Amino acid sequence: MRVVGPVLGIVWAVFLLQPWQAAWAAPHGIERTLSLVAIAGLAVSFAWVVLTRAGPHGSRLPDPRTGFVLAGQVVLVGVSTLAAGEEGLVGLVFVCVSAIFLMRDPRALLVAVFASVVIVVLPRIVPGWEPIDDLVISVVLASVAVFGFTQLVLRNRQLQLAQDEVAVLAIERERERIARDIHDILGHSLTVISVKAELAGKLVDLDPERAKAEMADVQALARAALADVRGTVSATRAVTLAGELAGARQAFDSAGVEADVPGTVDQVPDELRELFAWAVREGTTNVLRHAAATRVQVTMTGDTLVVDDDGDGPAAADLIAGNGLRGLSERARQVGARVAVSPSPLGGYRLLVTTTGATR
């Protein structure tokens, strides 16, 4: 359409042959020459408008330049009537179309109204001219058709831009999802691996068999973490609340942390289980990495999950600024829940995830 559309528009200039023939048939003289030059100039100016402003990426011309171009075309139409007579008013059709391409708003239709008045009135007051009222129909049809065409092009362009923006946003959201999931997965897995590797190092001389078992767990965790990362990238990984509770219990036992972890998830509705699973993972990671706790208590109801510890973890402001809690907060908002961090009755910090008092 960048090529074919403007070319089809320029073909309209063939209708200027009517005033051209009328001027050509006039007696030789300065008026005939001026009329022929004016008609040719009008054709050239119309072609310029179509080629530069009528395509799918055409834009509105600034008002001063628009006024200059349209005034010039009106002058050319007036000059063309010196020899072509009333036939020269055919050029007003091209002035109206040019106005629509240049202005690209409903004000351009006022030019069609002006042209229609001129076509009806002028032949009746100029001696020797014949009325050409049927030209008004051409002006109206051409103006309405071209105005509708430009609006269609504009809407299609806006739709294309909107689709491009939606595609970009979708890519960005997918990148955020992958980054958030990989952070949550690796943060937890590497923390547990670190704890187990440290424990195995301490048990090498005291209990070689236990140390060997811990290292076997480290290998299994590393393989599981790799599988989780691959699953996250391909969007096939599933997180289960029961699995995260079992993993948290095992991680706390390996770290020597006394843990009170629920043994059932029946009271949690299905729509909250994935969120609570990510919350258990994040709470476990924070306790093992930051809190230096000796006791952890996980309590869970149908709408609330709480992870309390007795450690001396980082300040609440630091926790809120972390990537893990930021990602957990985003997940919570998606299901109408909220995340809060505060001092714990046990003396450390509390991670709270609840639907109570939350707003979407």
- In order of their start, the domains of the chain are 4-132 (no CATH), 259-360 (3.30.565.10)
pLDDT along the chain (360 residues), means of 10: 60 81 89 92 87 62 80 91 90 89 84 90 89 89 85 79 75 68 66 79 80 80 69 60 82 83 82 88 83 88 91 58 76 89 88 77
Tell me what pLDDT residue 327 has: 81
> How far is the C-alpha of 291 from the C-alpha of 341, rounded, in Å?
13
Tell me what pLDDT residue 195 has: 79
* Beta-sheet pairing, 258-260 with 295-300: parallel
* Beta-sheet pairing, 349-354 with 295-300: unpaired
> How far is the C-alpha of 288 from the C-alpha of 198, rounded, in Å?
12
| Cα atoms found within 13 Å of the Cα of residue 40, Cβ hemisphere only | 8
Per the CB < 8 A criterion, the answer to whether 255 and 195 are in contact is: yes
Q: Which two tokens stand for residue 194?
A: 């670190």
DSSP 218-278: HHHHHHHHHHHHHHHHTT-----HHHHHHHHHHHHHHTT-EEE--S--TTS-HHHHHHHHH
> pTM for this structure?
0.48
Tell me what pLDDT residue 232 has: 60
Cα–Cα distance list, 25 to 39, 81, 253, 322 (Å): 14, 13, 106, 86
Q: Which two tokens stand for residue 159?
A: 């739709």
